[in-house]
Amino acid sequence: MGVQGITSFMEGDGNILKNVHFRNSKLIIDGCNLYYLLYFNSHFSQSHGGDYDSFKFQIEKFFQVLQECNIDPFVVLDGGSDGSDKKLETLKQRAQSKINTAKILSNGLQEKGGVLPTLVNQVFKQVLLSLNVPMAQVFYEADQEIASLAQMWNCPVLSNDSDFYIFDLKAGFLPISHFQWNKMAVTHGSQKRYISCKRYTTTSFCRYVHINRQLLPVFAALLGNDNVKMHTMGIFLRWEDYSSMTGRFARIDGLLKWLSSFQGQQEALDSVLKLIDRDYNRQKKYIANSLLSLGIEEYHLSSSCLERFFNTGVGPGSSRLPEPLRVFPEWMLLPFMQGRLPSCMVDVLLKRRRIMGTQVEDFQMPSGNIISRPLRQVFYGLLLGGRMEDQSSQRSPVEYVEEYDREGTDLTSSMVEAVLPRSADQLQLDTLAQVPHVVRLELLLETISVSQSSLSGVPPHLRLPVAVTCYWLRHAHPQPDQPLLQALLLGLLFGELHRQRQSQRVRRPENLLFERLRGEIQKGAKGLDLVVSHAYSQWQSCLRDGIHLNQLLSVPLAEPQCAWLYRGTVVHQLEAKLRGPMTPESLLEGSCSFKQLYRAMLDAIHKSQTDIVITKASRAIPSSLKMPQDDLAARLRMLELETEEEGDEGGSTAKPENDLGWTLVTVRTRHKAKERLNRSRNPEFSRKQERIGWD
């Protein structure tokens, strides 16, 4: 939510916000505001898809400072949008604005605001869980729950949401933009640490502007927020006429002057309706009355389930939820509040709707979210396709989810069918958590089209990223080539090295490898290549949707720590260097363990691609003519070798001696035209849509 223009007004008047030294207190934190601030104020790159490890360290530093100041944080995150559709237009406008910003960034320009990388929310939740910071993900927007809990505990709220200027909180509101956590200070004459910040309270504000505190919700509704916009009804009330000021704050000042003559909400509401009745027709008066009443009600504080959750770790129970939310099965409530399930499932379950995020990518190409849509379709199918009440019918009706995503630079919507593999036809959402682990794992791997055996050589915590990479290689457009894959896998190794260094389990060869990698990266930044950006945007979309599906299935594959999986500035630079003389072998020289890990990931990818080719070929041949699988694999290999021999006639395809192997090849018949060895960087001419294998 947010009240139009109020933040600038409050900050522009030096008498409203008070300087304080904050310590020794509970603090309710607006989690979405916090991770937005931490990412953008740290000046991380916005053009390369995220530097998640640096973001992780920034989160850890923030909560370390709170601990040193004896501040007990309680973080609350948004779930879905509220139960109505009154904010849909606002949400669509925000999505369009993010598309516009991403387009500007893709042109190599800077833009105020920025675009959050795909996995920021997931990284933030995982880091808080690892730090044991109390965290709750609520089902709707978090504002009211945050305000209710702060009022119960008599502690302040940390946020940048201007609605907290309206909620009547005894302990007040700390605007996050004035919270100088990175300049922790020490009290003179003692070792007591504190954070300098500014505090707002409704008591001091209302005393300053001479209005009753009860009138603040009327003030917000008349100014306009995400839910109440009088101008969209053609109603324009000239509050500036009541002000002696000129300039941009005259409207707010005039409204405060007008409200100062009233004692209660109803009196003020009746008076504004008389103004509308005088200048507009009766129908507009009735509509305005309804909208303003709803807008005022939004600031009414009711009881919150958060106190019980934070004190006992117990979820709310479906009987305590608003009626629309009772579609959630009982087993999902606690993991959802713990942040172990994705927030997007609220809008999918309640509204059959999802607004997709946008990344910095090639805007001449389809959205990077498109290739992972089949993963989302199964996610939707599990959520919508099997409810207990539908068992009476032979087969549930087809369900669709309306997805909002970019087409070019415009936000458009499309109806996406919720689907389930036949093996999952009988699964019910209400009992999904009780399904045996082996069944849930098979469903996940079937959806990603990866066999369990192909992942057996990969460490458990990297199996999902490697499986997703196999999916990405088969579905990405333009088709990823060898340097794109090599850089991505080396990026995973860089993250794994970083993770092991954090846990102090790194030997000397790995330390040397880390320093060598870091040295290569620091030799010089590279300009933005949209082909590369688009490829990795697609990979992150696949990873996000793979993680969401894995979470819904109660993590049959170990959940990876996303902070270590992708550092965009590193991967982009590695990709550029791998198009020159550098090879993975030369980078990994001296570290046997990381050479083995690199080979294990490549081997899993090769095995997965071969399995897919064999399966598809096997399905296409009548059973009476099928050869044994080993013979079929051998025949496919012979076809590849024959094609390579044909290619040799047109030029050398020899690999560098120190290459770690698995050259990218296309699985073709011997009669297919030869692929160009050196592809153009122009995707519309060079990136062919063919199935790929690894030799």
CB atoms within 10 A of CB 265: 18
The vertex-499 CA angle with 496 and 502, nearest 5°, equals 150
Rounded to an integer, what distance in angstroms lies between the CA atom of residue 167 and that of residue 163?
Answer: 7
CATH 3.40.50.1010 for the 1-211 domain, yes or no: yes
Question: 80 and 139 in contact (C-beta within 8 Å)?
Answer: yes
Rounded to an integer, what distance in angstroms lies between the CA atom of residue 433 and that of residue 493?
Answer: 33
**Residues 617-652 pLDDT 10s:** 544 444 443 434 444 344 334 434 433 443 444 433
My answer on whether omega of the bond before 73 falls inside 30° of 0, hence cis, is: no
The better pLDDT of the pair 689, 37 is held by 37
Question: 511 and 463 in contact (C-beta within 8 Å)?
Answer: no
Across 18-27, 211-220, 286-295, least confident range: 286-295
**Residues 61-71 pLDDT 10s:** 999 999 999 99
Please report which confidence band the pLDDT of residue 386 belongs to, taking 50, 70 and 90 as the band edges: low
pLDDT value of position 87: 83
pLDDT value of position 227: 72
Please report which confidence band the pLDDT of residue 279 belongs to, taking 50, 70 and 90 as the band edges: confident
The vertex-519 CA angle with 513 and 523, nearest 5°, equals 150
Rounded to an integer, what distance in angstroms lies between the CA atom of residue 580 and that of residue 483?
Answer: 10
Question: 72 and 26 in contact (C-beta within 8 Å)?
Answer: yes
| 175 bridge partner residues | 159
User: How far from the centroid of its chain's Cα atoms is residue 174's Cα?
Assistant: 25
CB atoms within 10 A of CB 581: 8
The vertex-636 CA angle with 633 and 637, nearest 5°, equals 85
**Residues 195-231 pLDDT 10s:** 999 999 999 999 999 999 999 999 999 998 777 777 7
Average pLDDT over residues 416-445: 92
Instruction: Please report the sign of the dihedral spanned by the C-alpha atoms of residue 372, residue 374, residue 375, residue 377.
Output: positive
pLDDT value of position 91: 92
pLDDT value of position 637: 45
Closest among 405, 537, 548 to 464, alpha carbons compared:
548
Packing angle between helix 265-279 and helix 216-223, nearest 10 degrees?
A: 30
Please report which confidence band the pLDDT of residue 674 belongs to, taking 50, 70 and 90 as the band edges: very low
Rounded to an integer, what distance in angstroms lies between the CA atom of residue 268 and that of residue 277?
Answer: 14
pLDDT value of position 505: 67
Across 30-34, 139-143, 509-513, 666-670, least confident range: 666-670
CB atoms within 10 A of CB 155: 20
CB-neighbour burial class of residue 63 (10 A; exposed 0-12, middle 13-18, buried 19+): buried
Question: 530 and 683 in contact (C-beta within 8 Å)?
Answer: no
pLDDT of 662 higher than 50: no
The better pLDDT of the pair 398, 345 is held by 345
Q: 94-98 contacts: CB < 8 A, separation 24 or more?
A: 95/355, 95/356, 95/358, 95/404, 95/411, 96/410, 96/411, 98/357, 98/358
**Residues 304-336 pLDDT 10s:** 889 999 999 998 888 888 888 989 999 999 999
Q: pTM here?
A: 0.86
Percentage of the chain modeled with pLDDT above 90: 63
Question: 655 and 663 in contact (C-beta within 8 Å)?
Answer: yes
CB atoms within 10 A of CB 156: 25
pLDDT value of position 666: 31
CB atoms within 10 A of CB 454: 23
In one-letter notation, the amino acid at residue 420 is L
pLDDT value of position 315: 87
The three-class DSSP label of residue 451 is coil
Rounded to an integer, what distance in angstroms lies between the CA atom of residue 606 and that of residue 613?
Answer: 11
Please report which confidence band the pLDDT of residue 663 belongs to, taking 50, 70 and 90 as the band edges: very low
The ranges of the chain annotated as CATH 3.40.50.1010 are 1-211
Question: 582 and 511 in contact (C-beta within 8 Å)?
Answer: no
Chain-wide mean pLDDT for the chain?
85
Q: 413-419 contacts: CB < 8 A, separation 24 or more?
A: 416/373, 416/376, 416/377, 416/380, 417/377, 417/380, 418/377, 418/380, 418/381, 418/383, 418/384, 418/385, 419/377, 419/378, 419/380, 419/381, 419/385
User: How far from the centroid of its chain's Cα atoms is residue 590's Cα?
Assistant: 37
Question: 600 and 461 in contact (C-beta within 8 Å)?
Answer: no
pLDDT value of position 51: 94
pLDDT value of position 633: 42
The better pLDDT of the pair 504, 229 is held by 229
**Residues 456-498 pLDDT 10s:** 999 999 999 999 999 999 999 999 999 999 999 999 999 998 8
- Exposure class string for 238-251: b at 16+ Cβ within 10 A, else e: ebbebbeeeeebbb
Residue 667 tokens, joined: 């699985």
Place of tokens 């004896």: 70
Question: 263 and 270 in contact (C-beta within 8 Å)?
Answer: no
Rounded to an integer, what distance in angstroms lies between the CA atom of residue 541 and that of residue 371?
Answer: 8
CB atoms within 10 A of CB 5: 15
Average pLDDT over residues 647-667: 36
User: How far from the centroid of its chain's Cα atoms is residue 657's Cα?
Assistant: 41
| 30 bridge partner residues | 76
Strands 18-22 and 193-199: antiparallel
Please report which confidence band the pLDDT of residue 684 belongs to, taking 50, 70 and 90 as the band edges: very low
The better pLDDT of the pair 356, 228 is held by 356
CA atoms within 13 A on the CB side of 423: 11
pLDDT of 394 higher than 60: no
Closest among 60, 47, 16 to 569, alpha carbons compared:
47
Place of tokens 């117990």: 314
Average pLDDT over residues 511-531: 75
